Amino acid sequence: MEDYTNKYKGEQVEVALFGGEYQEGVLTAYCYVEDVAHIELNGHILVPLQNIASLHCSSRCDAPEDDWPPRGLREDGGDEG
């Protein structure tokens, strides 16, 4: 699985959650908690990847669209968006 921590660490991101809610903050980590992949915002907000509909790196709007979700975390295992 590709590690996105170094790619976006320290960047301002906007996370769209399933259900229409949003979280904004600085991406501080990409980690596993009890075998569930999470991202960490602002050093203390843990968001399970399974709850994330999309992630937008607002400080780097030039990021390629295929960066999310990380390829190893797509349910269908395919590369199509």
The ranges assigned to domains in the chain are: 5-73
Dihedral angle of Cα 71, 33, 20, 69, to the nearest 10 degrees = -10
**pLDDT above 80: residue 15:** yes
- Tens of pLDDT along 45-60? 999 999 999 888 776 6
The whole-model pTM stands at 0.64
Contact of 12 with 26, CB cutoff 8 Å: yes
- The token pair that represents 10 in the structure block: 């320290």
CATH level 3 topology of 5-73: SH3 type barrels. (2.30.30)
- The token pair that represents 28 in the structure block: 């501080």
For 35-60, letters b (16+ CB in 10 Å) and e give eebbbbbeeeeebebeebeebbbeee
